[in-house]
Amino acid sequence: MQDAISRATGLLTATEIDKRFGANRVLRSVSLTLAPGEVHTLMGENGAGKSTLFRILAGIHQPDAGQINLDGTLLELRNPCAAYDQGIYLVPQEPALLKELSVAENMFLGMLPTRGRFPARIDWKTIRTKAQDALSTLGLDVDVRDDAKHLSIAQQQLVECAKALLRGCRIILFDEPTSPLTSREVGILFGNMRRLREQGCTLGFISHRMDEVTEISDRVSVLRDGAVTDEVDRDGFDRARLVRAMVGRELIFDRKRAHRTPKGEPVLSVRGLAHEPVFSGVDFDVRPGEILGFSGLIGAGRTEIAEAVCGLRTKSAGTVTLSGKDITAASIGDIIAAGLVYVPEDRARHGVILPMSIRDNATAGQIGRLQRKSGILNRKREVEIATDTLARYGVRARGIDQPVGQLSGGNQQKVVFGKWMSTNPKIAILDEPTRGVDVGAKDEIYKLIEELSAKGMAIIVISSELEELIALCDRVIAIYGGKIAAELHGTDITAARVGAAFLGAGTH
């Protein structure tokens, strides 16, 4: 560690970094400076590019353009090891400790000291002593001989931190470390971050929680759509300004749902739904023809709540009623038959079978109904349904035999819709319906959703995109930390208010 101090002061600059993943441009000419002795925080919506930027600085990804300098020297970080050699360490969002190995061995992974020439034996004694010392410096009281699988997430993060110090790293980047932690654990982490800062380390930090950000940061950079939109010093912190920088983009669509208040008995009623510690006390109703939005950050519990409602996930308390019928303990098949469908976020994993044709996918949800008495499938009917799906949902494809994997994201999503809507549900929960869909197709999907709602279907849209919620929803529920933090109606649904609500900054 002593060497490292003389080696570098730790002024890390990234200049005009560009990064694409496939067709998706994640970072657009981003510049960032991390100075020694400061905690520099990145804020931004999901998908704004924060993690990617840190991963580039830590050598996990390589930028397509731009350069990284450390104390004025140009760095080429081909892999994480190259970054360690330059004193840069990323504490990942999910600590990647090797579960079956001891804590001590994890800390020395890839650099196990040996003694003796031949055979060179591993010096377990040194490893244990040094590992134990490094952990006690961070205030972590665990036996380093214990298997890493016995550690909590908070402990694993501190072990990662100790790994950085053992490698002589003076620039430590924390990728959203606090989201799985309790407030007490956050306190301990911050205590350690402060001490490292006093020792002149350069610290990077990612968080969504406004309170934490204002507590620990010396400087905040806000990313939006892969570009830095604002950079604020400690004395310039202002929640409103940060929220605006995060979410205040020009809306691509000038859409706003006409204000309506659907009437009629709720088609879906959820009361006291809970599964500690993921979510608790969730109450809401949806009426026929209503479009209800679920906003919130990834990890806030939106998807988990939806899955619990649909019987895909266990719940510890609460009731779910569909059209007056209690479906809390019903099987997934019964729930679908009762008229509730859930269209998941990850199309490729749960929604469509990519190598299969549009025909096979469109009819997969009702294959039982296509059987003749003899047990042989009714091909003619199959073709009719698939052709109907193409026409009704405006799927652009060469024909019904084209594999779904060859379609664009938007057209894939339309096939998914067609598949689920062919079961004539009363209510549909759509999780991130336009993720990975281009702008034009988004608009078409919005129209589809509106048509379905006009026919009386109740719809819940889970979305991280503010403009999507604004464009579509009659009502928006903001989920924060597994609880309903706010409910907004009609004209109250504005970017600023929804954004503030799901960042946990309060609505008023």
Partner 1 sequence: MSTTIAATPEPNQRAKSRQRRELREVTLLVATFVVIFGVGLLRPSFMSFSNLEFMVLSSVVLGLVGISQTFVIMTRGIDLSVSAVLGLSAMVFGLLSTTSNMPVWQALPLCMVMGAVLGCFNGVLVAWAKIPPIIATLGTYSLYGGLTFIYSNGLQVDQVSQDFANFGNANLVPGLPVPTPVIALLIVSILAWFVLNHMKFGRTILAIGNNASAAYNAGISVRRTLLGVYTISGALAAFSGLIFVAYTGSATATTGTGDHVELQSIAVALIGGTAIAGGRGNLAGTVIGSVFLSVVITALVFLQVPAIWYSAGEGAMILIAVTLGARHGAKS
Residues that bind partner 1 (CB under 8 A): 60, 79-81, 84, 96-101, 105, 109-112, 114, 119-122, 124, 136, 139-143, 145-147, 149-152, 154-155, 158, 185, 187-188, 191
CA–CA gap between residue 479 and residue 283 (Å, rounded):
12
**What is the smallest separation between the CB atom of 111 and partner 1, expressed in angstroms?**
7
**What is the smallest separation between the CB atom of 145 and partner 1, expressed in angstroms?**
6
**What is the smallest separation between the CB atom of 321 and partner 1, expressed in angstroms?**
35
3-class state of residue 256 by DSSP:
coil
Nearer to partner 1, 83 or 462 (CB): 83
**What is the smallest separation between the CB atom of 258 and partner 1, expressed in angstroms?**
50
CA–CA gap between residue 311 and residue 334 (Å, rounded):
10
Nearer to partner 1, 11 or 82 (CB): 82
Nearer to partner 1, 191 or 236 (CB): 191
Nearer to partner 1, 127 or 213 (CB): 127
Q: Tell me if 474 sits within 8 A of 449, measured CB to CB.
A: no
Q: Tell me if 362 sits within 8 A of 397, measured CB to CB.
A: no
**In residues, how long is the chain?**
508
User: Which residues does 360 contact at the CB level (< 8 Å), separation at least 6?
Assistant: 353
What tokens appear for 391 in the block?
Answer: 């026409």
**What is the smallest separation between the CB atom of 124 and partner 1, expressed in angstroms?**
8
CA–CA gap between residue 228 and residue 18 (Å, rounded):
12
**What is the smallest separation between the CB atom of 180 and partner 1, expressed in angstroms?**
14
Nearer to partner 1, 65 or 111 (CB): 111
Nearer to partner 1, 152 or 316 (CB): 152
Spell out where 277-385 has E strands.
Answer: 279-286, 291-295, 317-322, 325-326, 340-343
**What is the smallest separation between the CB atom of 470 and partner 1, expressed in angstroms?**
39
Burial class (CB in 10 A: 0-12, 13-18, 19+), 212: buried
**Residue 424 backbone zone (phi > 0: left; psi -120 to 50: alpha; other: beta):** left
Element (H, E) at 126: helix 124-137
The C-alpha angle 151, 300, 49, rounded to 5 degrees, equals: 90
**What is the smallest separation between the CB atom of 184 and partner 1, expressed in angstroms?**
8
Nearer to partner 1, 78 or 508 (CB): 78
Annotate 267-299 with DSSP letters as a single string. SEEEEEEEETTTEEEEEEEE-TT-EEEEE--TT
Nearer to partner 1, 190 or 237 (CB): 190
Element (H, E) at 16: strand 12-21
Nearer to partner 1, 24 or 136 (CB): 136
**What is the smallest separation between the CB atom of 194 and partner 1, expressed in angstroms?**
12
